[in-house]
Structure 1
Amino acid sequence: MSGQFGAASTTDEVLASLDLSGQRVLVTGASAGLGVETARALAARGAHVVGAVRDLAKAERATAEVRTQTANGGGLELVELDLASLASVRACAEALLAKGETFDVIIANAGVMAAPFGHTTDGFETQFGTNHLGHFVLINRLAPLLKAGSRVVALSSAGHRFANVDLDDPNFETTEYTPFGAYGRSKTANALFAVEFDRRHRERGVRATAVHPGGIQTELSRHMSQADLDALIAQLEAAGPAGFQMKTIPQGAATSVWAGFVAPADAVGGRYCEDCHVAPVKEGDVSVRDGVRPYAIDPANAAALWAKSEEMVGETF
């Protein structure tokens, strides 16, 4: 399953043999970086992509090239979504539910990284609230639009190794805040969401998986100074026997489309993937950059996070 593609594979290589005509895909964060590339690669193979974005005007500019590459009946439409506002999340979901058009794949791509301490509109710590809780409500509300054979792909990160979730203090009310500690919590939450969503929906043929796209320099690093970014890259380059190489954006988006359209559903459902394969489980400190930490795919941890998330958003799924 994993031998054909790897860390250097691109979206076009992964999808080369596929005709996605007639498939509908929701991609959050389709206004920059990985989201735009994901939308382009899918629409170029016939998929109808719904890009959920915070800034519609920015997204229209960013996706102009996507529209020129659509083929085989593919297309792109944009809808407004601010993951840092549950009112916006619910309005987006309600509008899509009202249309009643099903999705074959949802790719939860949008997010923030290493943001300074702050809160979402609803008072949640910014990274946990945006990266996890916003997607938690959106995807659960859209679950009726996922038919048998559909998949959810949640973008996690190797950054999950920085921290497990803290269900006693998710908003850093008593814990010292660090940008990467908060990022780590949110990315662990993304992985755990996939585990529990997959458990809840696999009997009806809907699967979920989490992916690490790799190290890619995109707008995601906008909260980091160049010195901080250089230091992080140096740390990553020093980690692991094979070292580290930054990926291009097409390489970074490859694992998302691989997990969503190419890999066998039973192989990736409830799992964590990287470099177009299912990642091994690895213990270790933050210097061990590859693989997935046990706490990020632990079913009991996933169930506890789900319950806490329902409590926080005031909604039961």
Structure 2
Amino acid sequence: MTAEFGATSTTDDVLASIDLSGKRILITGVSAGLGVETARALVAHGAAVAGAARDLNKAETATAPVRAAAKQGNGAFDLIELDLASLASIRKATDRLVADGRKFDVVIANAGVMAAPFGHTADGFETQFGTNHLGHFLFVNRIAGLIAPGGRLVNVASSGHRFADIDLDDPNFERTPYDPWVAYGRSKTSNILFAVEFDRRHKARGVRATALHPGGINTELGRHVGVDTLKAMIERINAELDAAGKPPYSWKTIPQGAATSVWAGVVAEADAVGGRYCENCHVSEVTDGVINPVAEGVRSYALDPDRARALWAKSEELVGERY
């Protein structure tokens, strides 16, 4: 890699010398936050971006800066309707993409929900596991043939994967007491394991997959977390940081948060990120013993190839399709 980036690098820093003319990229979750900024940065450097969103009216308004950047950067942008909490919606969207037939160089699975109250998707799956993992699992696998050789899948996961490993015996909390953060952790661990197994299955044809933590960004993703709860979390984190002699926690900006997605998708070397977990624009190391909630690192269970294969098989069973 020719340049070093870090936690404060922005999308514009990462893409400063990159020409994406001729590249076609798909991003889920372009109606707010990281998805909008990721799309903006990519079209500004010449890419053609297809943005997927559940609420097209909201997305049309939110992506006005993306269209402006596309005009200035000779890129292109269009929207597709996709509700990741509905298998029917996913099948409808993917059928249209497959019929269209145009290839993608990168797919960025960015959409998601966090710490949602207990609920179910349209198909009866626990909301976070069903939306964050199963929705993307079905969506990506149904268009996997559209990812061109040399292309990549980028799964936006989270350091929240540390909250919990997957539970293949009770993925929908039918017997386990529901905890919104445990559910979030399971779904984010699933995002990473999905990338591990997708990478194993597709690298022979030159398609690689990676997962990442964008960092802590105060976006719509936290809408289910109350102000008092968030304040208490930050106070607890800062107390631990102070005890370790470190400065207090600070949020990333949205351009800083989206930087790792564009870095992993179009800048980093494929062999460096394939099957790995990234954050702050670099590949992370396994840190099972570290309990600091904002320290870098990935848990070994999230990269376990046997767990990844088992999750793949369970996911196929749940969505009713095999790949």
Q: Give the aligned residue type for 1:295.
A: Y
Partners of 2:267 and 2:304 lie apart in 1 by 25
Partners of 1:306 and 1:46 lie apart in 2 by 35
Give the corresponding residue for 2:226: 225
| Deviation of the 1:152 alpha carbon | 0.4
State percent identity of aligned pairs: 66
Q: Give the aligned residue type for 1:215.
A: G
| Deviation of the 1:233 alpha carbon | 2.4
Assess if the C-alpha contact under 8 Å between 1:2 and 1:276 holds in 2: no
Give the corresponding residue for 1:260: 265
Assess if the C-alpha contact under 8 Å between 2:115 and 2:180 holds in 1: yes
| 1:128-207 paired onto structure 2 within 5 Å | 128-207=129-208
Give the corresponding residue for 2:280: 275
Assess if the C-alpha contact under 8 Å between 1:21 and 1:72 holds in 2: no
Deviations 1:93-143 (A, max 9, x none): 110111000000000000000000000000000000000000000000010
Structure 1 pair 162–285 and aligned structure 2 pair: CA distance change class (3 A): farther
Partners of 2:73 and 2:64 lie apart in 1 by 18
| Deviation of the 1:92 alpha carbon | 0.6
Assess if the C-alpha contact under 8 Å between 2:260 and 2:279 holds in 1: yes
Q: Give the aligned residue type for 1:11.
A: T
Partners of 1:194 and 1:76 lie apart in 2 by 26
| Deviation of the 1:3 alpha carbon | 6.2
Give the corresponding residue for 1:67: 67
Assess if the C-alpha contact under 8 Å between 2:156 and 2:211 holds in 1: yes
Alignment counterpart, residue 304 of structure 1, candidates 303, 306, 310 = 310
Partners of 2:240 and 2:275 lie apart in 1 by 27
Deviations 1:10-52 (A, max 9, x none): 0000001001011110000001000000000001010011000
Q: Give the aligned residue type for 2:164.
A: A
Structure 1 pair 260–238 and aligned structure 2 pair: CA distance change class (3 A): farther
1:9 aligns with 2:9: yes
Partners of 1:3 and 1:226 lie apart in 2 by 38
Structure 1 pair 147–229 and aligned structure 2 pair: CA distance change class (3 A): same
Q: Taking structure 2 as the reference length, what is the TM-score of the superposition?
A: 0.95
| Deviation of the 1:225 alpha carbon | 0.6
Give the corresponding residue for 1:125: 126
Q: Secondary structure of the residue that 2:108 maps to in structure 1?
A: strand
Assess if the C-alpha contact under 8 Å between 1:280 and 1:291 holds in 2: yes
Partners of 2:256 and 2:317 lie apart in 1 by 37
Partners of 2:228 and 2:2 lie apart in 1 by 36
Q: Secondary structure of the residue that 1:291 maps to in structure 2?
A: coil
Q: Secondary structure of the residue that 1:246 maps to in structure 2?
A: coil
1:40 aligns with 2:40: yes
Tell me which moved more, 67-76 or 197-206.
67-76
Structure 1 pair 191–2 and aligned structure 2 pair: CA distance change class (3 A): farther
Q: Give the aligned residue type for 1:292.
A: V
Assess if the C-alpha contact under 8 Å between 1:30 and 1:53 holds in 2: yes
Q: Secondary structure of the residue that 1:167 maps to in structure 2?
A: coil
Partners of 2:172 and 2:227 lie apart in 1 by 27
Aligned length: 317
Q: Secondary structure of the residue that 1:8 maps to in structure 2?
A: coil
Structure 1 pair 238–2 and aligned structure 2 pair: CA distance change class (3 A): farther
| Deviation of the 1:284 alpha carbon | 3.2
Tell me which moved more, 225-234 or 161-170.
225-234
Q: Taking structure 1 as the reference length, what is the TM-score of the superposition?
A: 0.97
- Which segments of 5 or more consecutive residues in structure 2 lack a partner in the other structure? none
Structure 1 pair 138–297 and aligned structure 2 pair: CA distance change class (3 A): same
Assess if the C-alpha contact under 8 Å between 2:237 and 2:293 holds in 1: no
Assess if the C-alpha contact under 8 Å between 1:164 and 1:185 holds in 2: yes
Partners of 1:3 and 1:250 lie apart in 2 by 18
Q: Give the aligned residue type for 2:66.
A: V
